[in-house]
Structure 1
């Protein structure tokens, strides 16, 4: 170790380092940690953690949730290497475990539900050695955590920051599928500390200490507000686990010093291996799945939901390895899934209730589908899995217990989702694909058979409680206020395979069939428009476009549209098989007018937002009509300003756009005069210049959607020269000129001459 940093310079040096740009900050911070003594590292460690995650300052922190490989590759790699499981930061965290240094965490930073649980004395035994109780108020005030736990709990809490609502950069990133460095680290931490493979090595391996020093419980221990009515012994206890008090969390069986191996001679060495996994599992599950969606002002961001999905998938992997694991992690594997189970239902139901009706609903759907398919996350499935979402591993009988215990997750969540799917716009491919994902999962023959059989047998005890009435009471507390499940357990409204549900699915599939027919009509209309445009442009221009692979915006839209009818057809077929719906009842309506009447609903007229009459009553529009009307509203932008495509050279396109803008700005009036001329010169100008158009876009800055327009005059656009096909043509002409005439410039001259003749002929016959 280098010379120790003088204490009087430590604080000022730390402030200087934390104010540096990221790359220099990481480098200087690593040097600072090497120069400091262990006591000095303990002194500055919490300040660095607060800086990383923006505690009492900039909520972006070091940008873990706004940095992606696409927007900043260097910063992404720097953060990923620094915070990785084998990176410098993890070595610092484990270095502080030598003397079991403790750090205080204010419980006000924790979710409100979690704080309430701690204050009421209902905390799992895992937190018994961590809580500090204020003697005067007899309330939990702080948690005493070692360096590793202190960092991990702040890392987990960082996902709850509503960055998407307070920072435009985060809003843009969280609404796309880009993976931030935070999500990359989430997957890395969970895969390392909750390993899939039994007896896996958890990094970092070498550190001086590691067993959590037991904290003495407060002299006057916190007691639950209500005494437990009965004691329920879980299956994990019969396999070597501990007693779990009824109504408490299953996680209690692995907390604190109550490790399943605590009576064995090598309990200390076993706990030294397992305690980090206990901390990671408890912090991620207890904090993330206790996010109170109903009471929070901000809806969680999509990247947070994707992080929860990563957690669910890794817990499945972790739990499914219990039968093959004989290490100290075995007991933790056995209870990990039950820790998720008791909270995941309320979490997903709350998300579905508040999530907007657009294609971003896919992240919530994928979270739910990941939880209800544990057979996808086994060692065998991972080794045999084809790289496709269409892979359907067989459902072994060993998962029957999971399906029975989580039957409510299959039935109630499905029935809650269907009204949302009935209001989606299926002219958008992502919405159609979302329905396809749901349909294909619930059309698996072995899954449908199991659900039908278990729903008939275990419908009254679907959530693993000791009585059907207790199950209903818990569900009533989990759902949103004002929503109550029927007190009769065997109610048909919650049964997935009943005549009532079959009737509802038939009505739903009728709406999907009409949406499919509407898309088919739009495709036919768009094809006619493209064909008419091609006829007006002439043979030579169409041949040129096909030769160089140029596509218009209409052709791109048609290609997107053309995928939708087949996807919707497969959805209809799958749901008909699952719910025994006769497709003949749907085909009878295919020749009816735009909006046939739905059973039990009054007939409605074919209203439209584009009706010019003064008697339009939009309150009579049903969701399907609103979807069809909304699909007629499209933003129109200048093709020259579209995002750079993969078949274009990014730097060259930007240069050509800059040159085009300069030409248009300087000679705009002359170009417009050339374009409107009626003689042959005007025809040539119309072949060379982009046609005038009206740009349209949606402005939401005022709180409501407004359609804005801007008239774009005739203009020069050199962007086509930046495509790879154009550059390839120029290169081939230069090579041909060199080989045939001995001069590459002559090849370019001949190419330009051919293009000029082509344009003049095209103008002549236009």
Structure 2
């Protein structure tokens, strides 16, 4: 038996361990957990949780939101293994449940809207036994949580920290599609505690059967601002194993022998263990994340937080859609989970759309919305039949008609809210065109459009009786459980989605898309001519070696990027024309017309706007994409070819090594290289054939919140990246093989290849 650590040395030992480097820290803590008694672990547990999530210290904590598989694979693996469902940390949390100890959470760490909900008495039964009142101020003071809930609520709160605005590492990671350890853990926790399959096993399975200990009520009863209203949970839910709070009477009932109709004895205990953890995870994630106050917060939530909310929405769809096959204690929790999200998601997405920057990062908000309004994509049948990619669109079962009716403004109002933003996007960027494609393909589903048109035609007095967004909000409040209310600010000025004004609006919008597509086709034709002219001037040998070594110019890279856009835009136009019954002949009529002969798309496009207009009346928000492209035609990001992303025909480790070597050469001999490049004699001509030419790099910097164009002059330089190309390596290997076969020495083959390359460059320098 391992020797227990003396109590007096415990605190100092923990503090010293928490100051170690991360990998050593995790290793030492794993040993410490085995050596300490349960009472000792209770003392150090809150300190470790605060350290993990950066409470009153470094906001990065242990780096869960900044560690990815790309930037630190070893640390990513260690963190995921330690905090995973079957990891050391989760087993420690469940080990502490045996002693039924409680940990206090100060409400100052909670979001303001969440605290207001608890203080006003709007909280459901789940929070009834968690609340501790401050007897002096008669206000909410702390929450008493068991070890599992204490960790989960801190884990959920960690996502609300605006790391992307205070740390450059987080800002860089959150703006790309890399998956952090935190997002992986979010997906793993939700998938485990809110399972899709009714017979799924929730890990960890083996822990104390005393799930939640009875907890004393607050010293003084909470005095709400209005009559408290609670989420009505059916009695069968409570009997089936749902525990209404972290402590309290539900556990007492369990110990008294309250059994489920479906189970008894040991199976009843296991069912209760499943239910209370799932309920905790569901309440903490939904009530905290979807109450993020987007309107009043100084910083927008990070894109990784929005991706986490999308993971939550998808998993709750899975969880709720399994209710019909589930006869366990989770059944009633599955049934109420969808309404919990419905009560908050509309205001949350509307706030995101209003404040999100107008660039391709809008994709994360779009994907969140599309995931919520397509619950039929997250069923057991859809999961079993799902094919690769986005092409799979499962049919909409009649069982989802109620969801579509209850959430109609989530389809219609938000689409109308998004449309002005899509009208201002630049569709010469592929990611923007792909965003439009995602929107178009979703709304082109025939079985969905038929439903939306039919339900939207039902006016007041009919069975579904909603003729405005606000009226439907009122109806949804009546249909929700008491204490759960919609609180969005809804404008009633939006027309119906399938009305005649919207059809005209969509026709004007599609005309803009058609004009953008034609403009891209013209730019592609001009770029092809430019590339062909350059290839003719370079001659046969240069073109042959460029193709042999797989070299691509900036123009060729741009052309490849452009070539994907016209077909995507064409599919978008076709899909929207089918959805809104727009005649494509009206769009084709203007395709070959000169731009000055085209009719105005809207009243704002008849005015002349320019970024260089010094008048006080300039409003750039009214610029359409065509005008923006005219004003910004000479503002393009230009990247050093040596710094372009590693291509599929390159060997990554060798390219990185050659880049480091090139940087050291340029840093040490930069002045001599520039002197050779500028010489007018034959030596200078040779240098200009072998070295990369000077250029001006241009890129867009968004760190300040604005898009600033930055420039940097790059001098002549050595670049050995070509040697990392797979065709070049194959050529070198072929030369070595020829040397071995013909002369018995591979070095002679390499010498012959080097002589040919050097002679070729000397000839080019002679005739340049």
Q: Could you tell me whether the CA contact under 8 Å between 2:104 and 2:142 is conserved in 1? A: yes
- Equivalent residue number for residue 11 of structure 1: 11
Q: Structure 1 residue 122 and structure 2 residue 102: aligned?
A: no
Q: 1:470 to 1:508 in 2, by over 3 A?
A: farther
Deviates more, 1:116-125 or 1:728-737: 728-737
Aligned to 2:738: 736
Distance 1:160 1:358 in 2: 22
Q: Distance in 2 between matches of 1:656 and 1:328?
A: 60
Please state if 1:578 is matched with 2:584.
no
CA contact (8 A) 1:103 1:147 kept: yes
Structure 1 residue 545: Cα displacement:
1.3
Deviation at 1:253, TM superposition (A): 11
CA distance in 2, matches of 1:69, 1:104: 34
Equivalent residue for 2:491?
485
- Which deviations, in whole Å up to 9, do the C-alpha atoms of 1:190-233 show, x marking residues without a partner? 011111111211100000234223434446533543348xx999
Deviation at 1:535, TM superposition (A): 1.3
> 1:250-289 maps to which residues of 2 (within 5 A)?
264=260, 266=264, 270-289=271-290
Matches within 5 A, 1:28-47: 28-47=28-47
1:544 is aligned to 545
- Which residue of 2 is the match for residue 247 of structure 1? none
Cα deviation, residue 64, structure 1: 0.3
The one-character-per-residue Cα deviations of 1:556-577 (angstroms, maximum 9, x if unpaired) are 1110011111111111110010
Question: What is the CA-CA distance between 1:656 and the residue it aligns to?
Answer: 3.5
| Other structure's SS at 2:466 match | helix
1:350 and 1:479 in contact (8 A); partners too: no
> What SS does the aligned partner of 2:34 have?
helix
Contact 2:133-2:219 within 8 A present in 1 as well: no
**2:146–2:246 Cα contact (<8 Å) kept:** no
Q: Which residue of 1 aligns with 2:688?
A: 686
- Measured in 2, the distance between the counterparts of 1:456 and 1:255 equals 49
Query: 1:551 Cα shift?
Result: 1.2
Equivalent position of 1:321 in the other structure: 322
Paired position in structure 1 for 2:213: 213
> In structure 2, what is the Cα distance between the partners aligned to 1:144 and 1:614?
60
SS at structure 2 position matched to 1:68 = coil
CA apart distance, 1:464: 6.8
> Tell me, which stretches of 5 or more residues in structure 1 are unaligned?
244-249
Q: Distance in 2 between matches of 1:663 and 1:284?
A: 53
| In 2, Cα distance between equivalents of 1:699 and 1:181 | 27
Residues 709 and 339 of structure 1: CA distance in aligned 2, closer, same or farther (over 3 Å): closer
Closer/same/farther in 2, CA of residues 661 and 188 from structure 1, 3 Å limit: closer
Q: 1:32 to 1:669 in 2, by over 3 A?
A: closer
2:416 alignment counterpart: 415
| 1:423-474 alpha-carbon deviations (Å, 9 max, x no partner) | 1111110000000000000000101011111112236187876748979xx9
Matches within 5 A, 1:112-261: 112-218=112-218, 220-222=220-222, 224-227=224-227, 237=234, 240=236
- Cα distance in 2 between the residues matched to 1:698 and 1:356: 14
Partner SS, residue 551 of structure 1: coil
- Does residue 356 of the first structure (1) align with residue 353 of the second (2)? no
Match among 598, 603, 606 for residue 604 of structure 1: 606
Question: Aligned partners of 2:343, 2:171: CA distance in 1, in Å?
Answer: 31
| CA-to-aligned-CA distance 1:729-759 (integer Å, 9 cap, x gap) | 1112112211221100011011112223433
What is the aligned counterpart of 1:633 among 632, 635, 649?
Answer: 635
1:711-746 deviations in Å (ceiling 9; x for gaps)? 444433222112222122111211221122110001
2:248 & 2:359 partners in 1: Cα distance?
A: 44
* SS of residue in 2 equivalent to 1:61: coil
* CA shift for structure 1 position 547: 2.0
8 Å Cα contact 2:51/2:62 also seen in 1: yes
Looking at structure 1, the residues matched to 605 and 83 of structure 2 have their Cα atoms a distance apart, in angstroms, of: 61
Q: CA deviation at 1:607?
A: 5.3
- Structure 1 window deviating more from structure 2 (650-659 vs 100-109): it is 650-659
Partners of 1:80 and 1:107 lie apart in 2 by 29
Q: Is the 8 A contact 1:85 1:203 kept in 2?
A: yes
SS at match of 1:436: helix
Taking a change above 3 Å as real, the CA distance of residues 187 and 501 of structure 1, as seen in their structure-2 partners, is same
Aligned equivalent of 1:751:
753
* Higher alpha-carbon deviation: 547-556 or 678-687: 678-687
Looking at structure 2, the residues matched to 170 and 297 of structure 1 have their Cα atoms a distance apart, in angstroms, of 18
Contact 2:79–2:181 under 8 Å retained in 1: yes
Give the equivalent residue in structure 1 for 2:433.
432
Partner residue in 2 for 1:340: 341
State the SS of the aligned residue for 2:100. coil
Question: Which residue in 1 is equivalent to 2:72?
Answer: 72
Structure 1 Cα separation of the partners of residues 124 and 184 of structure 2 = 29
Over the residues paired in the alignment, what is the CA RMSD in angstroms?
Answer: 3.2
Counterparts of 1:65 and 1:469, CA distance in 2: 36
Partner of 1:562: 563
**Aligned-partner Cα distance in 2 for 1:117–1:702:** 34
Quote the offset at 1:99 in angstroms: 1.6
Alignment of 1:510-529 (within 5 A): 510-529=511-530
> Equivalent residue of 2:196, what SS?
coil
- Tell me the distance in 2 between the aligned counterparts of 1:545 and 1:174: 37
Matches within 5 A, 1:381-460: 381-457=382-458, 458=464, 460=466
Larger mean CA deviation between 516-525 and 554-563 belongs to 516-525
1:27 matched residue in structure 2: 27
Counterpart of 2:4 in 1: which secondary structure?
Answer: coil
Is residue 540–residue 762 contact of structure 1 (8 Å, CA) maintained in 2?
Answer: no
Aligned residues: 744
Query: Is 1:548–1:725's contact at 8 Å kept on the other side of the alignment?
Result: yes
Structure 1 residue 622: Cα displacement: 2.1
Distance 1:242 1:32 in 2: 38
Q: Distance in 1 between matches of 2:336 and 2:539?
A: 70
| Mapped contact 1:375–1:395 kept (Cα < 8 A) | yes
Residue 340 of structure 1 deviates from its aligned partner by 0.6
Displacement of 1:351: 0.5
The answer for the alignment partner of 2:90 in structure 1 is 90
* CA distance, structure 2, for counterparts of residue 512 and residue 734 of structure 1: 54
Q: Deviations over 1:105-156 (max 9, x none)?
A: 1111111111001111111100111111122322221111000000000000
Asked if 1:591 corresponds to 2:592, the answer is yes
In structure 2, the gaps of 5 or more residues are 459-463
- CA gap of 1:687–1:571, structure 2 versus 1, over 3 A, is same
Q: CA separation in 1, counterparts of 2:203 and 2:668?
A: 63
